[in-house]
Amino acid sequence: MKYLYILLYLIYSFNLYSQQNINARMFIFDYTYQIPLGEISEKYGQNSSLSASFITNKKKYLYSIEASFMFGENIKNDSLLRNISTENGSLINSSGELDQILLSQRGFNTHLMCGKALKFNKTTNHSIFIYGGPGFMSHKINLQSNRTNLPQVQEDYAKGYDQLESGLSTKICIDYIYFHPNNFIKINMGINIINAFTKYQRLYNFSEMMSYEDKFKHNLFLGIKFGIIIPINSANTEKFYYR
């Protein structure tokens, strides 16, 4: 029974201090290490994301707009260029020389977020920020030549191999935010989950010599992030975050 009382007390504490008027306007820049799960993990390995977001408030809720650039070097499709490469995987450039193609993941996502900051008491300079919202995601395989001209994988021909996907997504985040009263720049760390349903945006797959299926693919990314917070109105940290 005592554990029930403790749980009720924690819920009450969170609710009490999260109801205060929040006076917050800030930029957040963070790095996220992402792990693909499920279907998308068959195509990509772990990747990274650099994000920038702006957060403001209305009464007791926080609202933000966020944009992220995704990048990674772990492409699992090692037979992507098998139809145009030699036995050892090289391509013949415009000068008749052998060359290699570097494959990497590139993409972006953007989300509109809404959430609430939760505090145990008035005296602490840290809080938990829980938020989420809808957005858009796009990603593809980037093909880059080492040093020479490879017309068979450039411009419009690259679109036959890049497997571009895009679609609607949702993002859920749980962040720990720490505001030290003597420092201008604050920090945050946390975890997030991006859940997206995407479709191929190209008509034909040169690698498989066939048209893409017109169906949604499930994208799931688990992220671990760390970032810095730059408050806009930082004259008084206590008034800045909880008023």
| 26-83 pLDDT per residue, tens | 899 999 999 999 889 999 999 999 999 998 887 778 899 999 999 999 998 878 888 8
Work out the number of other CB atoms within 10 angstroms of the CB of residue 61.
Answer: 13
Lowest-pLDDT range of 46-50, 228-232, 239-243: 239-243
Specify the pLDDT at position 29: 94
| 156-192 pLDDT per residue, tens | 888 999 999 999 999 999 998 877 666 666 888 999 9
Residue 221: band (very low, low, confident or very high) from pLDDT cuts 50, 70, 90: very high
Structure letter (DSSP) for residue 236: -
| 130-148 pLDDT per residue, tens | 999 999 999 999 988 766 7
Q: What whole-number distance in Å separates Cα of residue 176 and Cα of residue 167?
A: 29
Q: What whole-number distance in Å separates Cα of residue 112 and Cα of residue 118?
A: 20
Work out the number of other CB atoms within 10 angstroms of the CB of residue 15.
Answer: 11
Residue 17 has pLDDT above 70, yes or no: no
Share of the chain above pLDDT 90, in %: 43
Asked if 104 and 142 count as a contact pair (C-beta separation under 8 A), the reply is yes
Q: What whole-number distance in Å separates Cα of residue 61 and Cα of residue 66?
A: 16
Q: Which two tokens stand for residue 90?
A: 């090289």
Asked if 93 and 149 count as a contact pair (C-beta separation under 8 A), the reply is yes
Specify the pLDDT at position 47: 95
Work out the number of other CB atoms within 10 angstroms of the CB of residue 120.
Answer: 14
For the chain, what are the domain ranges?
Answer: 2-241
For domain 2-241, the CATH class is mainly beta
Asked if 216 and 167 count as a contact pair (C-beta separation under 8 A), the reply is yes
Residue found by looking up tokens 């977020």 in the block = 113
Of residues 15 and 223, more confidently modeled:
223
Asked if 220 and 169 count as a contact pair (C-beta separation under 8 A), the reply is no
Residue 194 has pLDDT above 80, yes or no: yes
